[in-house]
Amino acid sequence: MLRVTDLHAYYGKSHVIQGVSLEVGDGELVGLLGRNGVGKTTLLKSIMGLVPPRRGSVLFDGAELSRLAAHEIPRRGIGYVPQGRRIFPLLTVRENLRTGLAKSGNSVGEDAAFAPIFADFPVLEGRLGQLGGTLSGGEQQMLAISRALLGRPKLIMLDEPMEGLMPAMVTMVRDTVKRIADMGVGVVLVEQNVRMVLDVADRVYIMQKGAVTFTGQAPDCTDEVLLQHLGV
């Protein structure tokens, strides 16, 4: 589904992404690990066209994305939940959800489209008229994920979705991410909670200094591998 090949991206003269290659299949849950500052977020932004790559290829369902404008890429079927949630704080929960629904081309009514979201995150149904910025951190993360899912993506990329959440909320988000993959949606999961990623991921990539230094099945990430590549 997604094939990134020899991708290079820069911030000004700083060479942040240095020849990264990565693949994600249908319904595959891929973990992307690495210390802070190694380029994980920049890689996701490059795939989404927010940091345009200078060299390399991003193929999605056989189509090249690397030369598309950023607003065109979600329409191709890629959902993105950025670090820090980035909901619209002055819009209501309903209005935030509508922004995701607008990208889907879904012909069903709003209530029918929202029903699966409320099955996963029932608390949102009772918050529809509440401003997004007044939600708790966990509720904002539910809203960010729900908004991305309403675009009916074939692939969803989540950047630190468990950051700052209470343990019970971490478990809920983890289970939701796994359920998304079980529905056949590809998932790229960037997360500092290494053990949680290894518990749910099919395959794992580890990045250091802008490059992938390890790739393998999740069970291949032994303590020795983690110590060598992450220092943990």
Spatial distance between the Cα atoms of 50 and 202, rounded to a whole number of angstroms: 27
Average of per-residue pLDDT values in the chain: 91
Q: Has residue 107 got a pLDDT over 70?
A: no
- 3-state class of 217 per DSSP? strand
- pLDDT tens string 25-52: 999 999 999 999 999 999 999 999 999 9
* Residue 178 structure tokens: 């796994």
For domain 2-230, give the fold. Rossmann fold (3.40.50)
Whether 50 and 11 have beta carbons less than 8 Å apart is answered as: no
Burial 107-134 (b: 16+ CB within 10 A, else e): eeeeeebbeebbebbeebeebeeebbee
Q: How confident is the model at residue 203 (pLDDT cuts 50, 70, 90)?
A: very high
pLDDT at residue 85 tops 90: no
The predicted-structure confidence for 129-164, as pLDDT tens digits, reads as follows 999 999 988 899 989 999 999 988 999 999 998 888
Using CA atoms, how far apart are residues 175 and 170, in angstroms rounded to an integer? 9
pLDDT of residue 29: 97
From 81, 85, 170, select the one nearest 133 (Cα to Cα).
Answer: 85
Domain residue limits, the chain: 2-230
Tell me the pTM.
0.91
Question: What pLDDT score was predicted for residue 56?
Answer: 96
- pLDDT at residue 2, rounded to an integer: 97
- What's the pLDDT tens digit per position in 161-191? 888 888 888 888 889 899 999 999 999 999 9
Per-residue model confidence (pLDDT) at position 208: 95
Determine the pLDDT at residue 83: 87
pLDDT at position 67 over 80: yes
